[in-house]
Amino acid sequence: MRRQGTSYRIYTISALITINTKFLIDLYLHITFGIKIVIISLLGTTEMLSREDSIALLTEYSKGAAWSKHCFAVAGSASRLGYALENRFAIDHHFLWSASLLHDIGRCITHDPILHGIEGYKLMKKLGHEKEAYVCASHILFGLESAEAIQFGLPACDFTPRTIEERLVPLVDFMIENEKPTTLDHRFLSLRRRNADNDFFLGRLDRAQETARSFMMRLSKEIGESVEDLIVTSS
């Protein structure tokens, strides 16, 4: 009887240790998760989207529509250009790829040449991905000034590309027609033809083309070869 009682007590102590260990692990996870949420709330930061997460988001909202092929083409070309530049710039390759892939996600709502960026911004912001949301808005016309942003319901601030990654997205976007690489001149000519009835968009295309051309020429000098040739030959 004493042996059975001893065995029972050992079993009970073991069970209590197991239960308490599980409780402590759960408590630790809840505390660290809570701290993480507080930090995100205070600093306005969000978790980095993985490649798998980015693809899942695009797949969910594009439903396999043809425009998603353009997104993959831009992501692929932007990524290759990013690696060509990494000896000259500190490139966040993960962010560059996800931002490039999701820059047109607003096309799940509209194909308007400006509003798709606005809707993409709203969607990604709602999902908690602020960096990608910013790119959705700032890739439009290579950036929107504060007064322009306000017209479309965005916060009263400039939505212009600031980092190297944010600037590479609209540049490469302006060199991909559907999913095929092309030149800046050809792409802008196509944009003018397809949006001939959109005065706001047309009125700002010259500014966007000049910004894109100037940035492209700077990058070409940095890497010692034509960016347009690099995009075409590597696609």
Q: Mark whether 111 and 7 lie in a shared domain.
A: no
- pLDDT score of 38: 38
Question: Is the domain of 179 the same as that of 210?
Answer: yes
Dihedrals phi, psi of 45, to nearest 5 degrees: -100, 155
Looking at the structure, tell me whether residues 214 and 129 fall in a common domain.
yes
Check residue 49 and report its DSSP letter.
P
User: Which pLDDT value is given to residue 44?
Assistant: 46
Nearest to 201 by CA among 114, 121, 136: 114
Query: 174-209 pLDDT, tens per residue?
Result: 999 999 999 999 999 999 999 999 999 999 999 999
Q: 75 lies in which domain range?
A: 51-234
Asked if residue 119 and residue 16 are part of one domain, the reply reads: no
Answer with the residue of higher pLDDT: 82 or 32.
Answer: 82
Split into its structural domains, the chain has a count of 2
pTM of the prediction? 0.80
* 8-state DSSP, 159: B
Do 40 and 56 belong to one domain? no
Residue position matching structure tokens 């965005």: 154
Q: Are residues 100 and 163 in the same domain?
A: yes
Q: Which pLDDT band, with edges at 50, 70 and 90, does 232 fall under?
A: confident
